[in-house]
Amino acid sequence: MKKFLAVLMALVLIAVCFAGCGSNENAEGSTKPAADQTDSEYIKAKGTLLVGITDFEPMDYKDADGNWIGFDADMAKAFAETLGVKVEFVEIDWDNKVLELDGKSIDCVWNGMTLTDEVKEAMSCSQAYCNNAQVVIVKADGADKYKTAEDCKQLKFAVEAGSAGENMAKENGFDYTPVKDQATTLMEIKSGTCDAAIIDSLMAAAMVGEGTNYADLTYTVSLNSEEYGVGFRKGSDVTELFNAFLAKAKTDGTVDTIAEKYGVSAALIK
């Protein structure tokens, strides 16, 4: 009898182990197998929306207390609230944004991201929400010499690695050096390491010219026109949740209020 009970107990333990393997709780505390979770379920289970950004005023930048603010940052906070989760901003290497997204180091790329063909191929992209352009930045005292892209071919450029600005540099055959982010490109001109930079027009309006830290710089040639969107993982259901949030935020005035706060109202796609 004792032998029979020992065998029975062993069989029960084996069954429990196998059952545990099939329905084990994942790291986020959900009993649903991770492979079966939708992206929104995954984000809600862990309780945070990880937003991939770089330092890019007026979209994402830090205030005097070190908190992330900006048009995109404030919109991300509002969106996270509708999901019932907290938002966490993660500074990324822009050139590695797809790897960060696919590796789940972040849940979305939300940083004045241009909706290029490459981006649309690699991510599930939201509807566009802002118009933008890539513009050439030079020192103001010599700006009158650079009125066309052809005029700029003699210049040495700084561009953000993996950005729309780098794409424009390649397309126009410019001599350029990739750097960490758009803010760094302005520092390169200031230090004399480079003659010019290519950055987003929205950033240029906020960062260069009279009343800024780069009062001696200005923007000249506009190299293209483009649109901003948010990038989620391929196949993510969060994309449609964001599109619904954006539509409601436009209707109830949230978008206009945040845009006015950061001076980007003219760029909004109505």
Percent of the chain with pLDDT over 90: 85
Residue 31: predicted pLDDT: 52
Q: Same domain for 91 and 70? A: yes
Average pLDDT, the chain: 90
Distance, CA of 76 to CA of 186 (rounded, Å): 26
Digit-coded pLDDT (tens) for 159-210: 999 999 999 999 999 999 999 999 999 999 999 999 999 999 999 999 999 9
Question: Does residue 239 share a domain with residue 205?
Answer: no
Q: For residue 84, tell me if it sits in a domain.
A: yes
- Domain identity same for 64 and 95: yes
CATH of the domain at 152: 3.40.190.10
Tell me the residue range of the domain where 139 lies: 134-224
Query: Within this chain, do residues 105 and 77 fall inside the same structural domain, yes or no?
Result: yes
When pLDDT is averaged across residues 233-254 and rounded to a whole number, the result is 98
pLDDT greater than 90 at residue 215: yes
19 belongs to a structural domain: no
- pLDDT tens digits along 88-134: 999 999 999 999 999 999 999 999 999 999 999 999 999 999 999 99
Query: What is each CA distance from 103 to 85, 128, 267, in whole angstroms?
Result: 20, 24, 32
pTM over 0.85: no
Please give the structure tokens belonging to residue 50. Answer: 């990880």
Q: What is the pLDDT of residue 36?
A: 80
pLDDT at 255: 98
Q: What is the pLDDT of residue 20?
A: 45
Largest CA distance in the chain: 100
Residue 55 and residue 114 in one domain? yes
Between CA 116 and CA 124 the distance in angstroms is 12
pLDDT tens column, 27-61: 445 555 566 899 999 999 999 999 999 999 999 99
Same domain, 201 and 261: no
Q: Compute the distance between CA of residue 86 and CA of residue 100 in angstroms, rounded to an integer.
A: 19
202 and 82 in a single domain? The answer is no
The residue ranking higher by pLDDT, 251 or 26, is 251
With cut-offs at 50, 70 and 90, classify the pLDDT of residue 25: very low
66 located within any domain: yes
| 131 three-class SS | strand
Claim to verify: residue 95 and residue 164 sit in the same structural domain: no
- In this structure, the answer to whether residues 240 and 182 fall within a common structural domain is no
125 occurs within a structural domain: yes
Residue 11 is predicted with a pLDDT of: 47
Query: Does 243 share its domain with 182?
Result: no
The structural domain count of the chain equals 2
In a shared domain, residues 145 and 108:
no
